[in-house]
Amino acid sequence: MANDMDTPTPEEQALADEWAAALSEAGDASQDDIDALMNQGAAAPSSPRAPMEEFGSMPKATGPVTLDGPNLDVILDIPVSISMEVGNTDITIRNLLQLNQGSVIELDRLAGEPLDVLVNGTLIAHGEVVVVNEKFGIRLTDVISPSERIKKLR
């Protein structure tokens, strides 16, 4: 039984051969060199860390949300998808397959009602269509407060 434990399986031998090849490619770095590098990393002063906040704890609202705080710097350049929704409706697949050029789809909004402005699918404002330099735009008429947006996420 002791002999079976001493002989490596073919998978173990293949793994050992891969490690041996990788170590030979690494050059002539000795264990002393590796230990010295590890000790240098341990001796280097670590950067000061910010205290961890409790997960799920909400930051205390101290006033209006601003872009001045350092907490938002990390996320300010993240792209988001913004869309304007004229309206919507539900139709059957049969009717969807029958649509062609010139078809009219009735929406759930009245003409002249404000459009919904959605960011990543979350309603943030209402607005009206305008034309700017021969392109469509939207003038925001009502922006939902940040606290209301947070409530909708829950």
User: Is residue 102 a part of any domain in this protein?
Assistant: yes
Kindly provide the b/e burial profile for residues 45-74, where b requires at least 16 CB atoms within 10 angstroms of the residue's own CB.
Answer: eeeeeeeeeeeeeeeeeeeeeeeeeeeeee
Taking only the tens place, the pLDDT of each residue in 79-112 is: 889 888 888 899 999 999 999 999 999 988 888 8
**What CATH number corresponds to the domain at position 115?**
2.30.330.10
User: Is residue 62 a part of any domain in this protein?
Assistant: no
Confidence of residue 13 (pLDDT cuts 50, 70, 90): confident
**β-strand 122-132 against 115-119: which pairing, if any?**
antiparallel
User: Is residue 70 a part of any domain in this protein?
Assistant: no
Confidence of residue 145 (pLDDT cuts 50, 70, 90): confident
User: Is residue 119 a part of any domain in this protein?
Assistant: yes
100 or 17, higher pLDDT:
100
**β-strand 115-119 against 82-85: which pairing, if any?**
antiparallel
What the block records as the tokens of 39 is 């000790």
Contact between 130 and 137 under an 8 Å Cβ cutoff? The reply is yes
Q: Which pLDDT value is given to residue 92?
A: 93
User: Is residue 103 a part of any domain in this protein?
Assistant: yes
- Residue 116 pLDDT more than 80? yes
Structural domain count, the chain: 1
Q: Which pLDDT value is given to residue 90?
A: 93
User: Is residue 3 a part of any domain in this protein?
Assistant: no
User: Is residue 23 a part of any domain in this protein?
Assistant: no
- d(CA 125, CA 121) in angstroms, rounded, equals 12
Q: Which pLDDT value is given to residue 37?
A: 57
Kindly provide the b/e burial profile for residues 3-33, where b requires at least 16 CB atoms within 10 angstroms of the residue's own CB.
Answer: eeeeeeeeeeeeeeeeeeeeeeeeeeeeeee
20-24, 31-35, 61-65: range with lowest mean pLDDT: 61-65
Q: Which pLDDT value is given to residue 89?
A: 92
- d(CA 74, CA 49) in angstroms, rounded, equals 16
User: Is residue 55 a part of any domain in this protein?
Assistant: no
Taking only the tens place, the pLDDT of each residue in 63-75 is: 555 555 457 777 8
Contact between 118 and 84 under an 8 Å Cβ cutoff? The reply is yes
Confidence of residue 23 (pLDDT cuts 50, 70, 90): low
Domain holding 108, by residue range, is 78-153
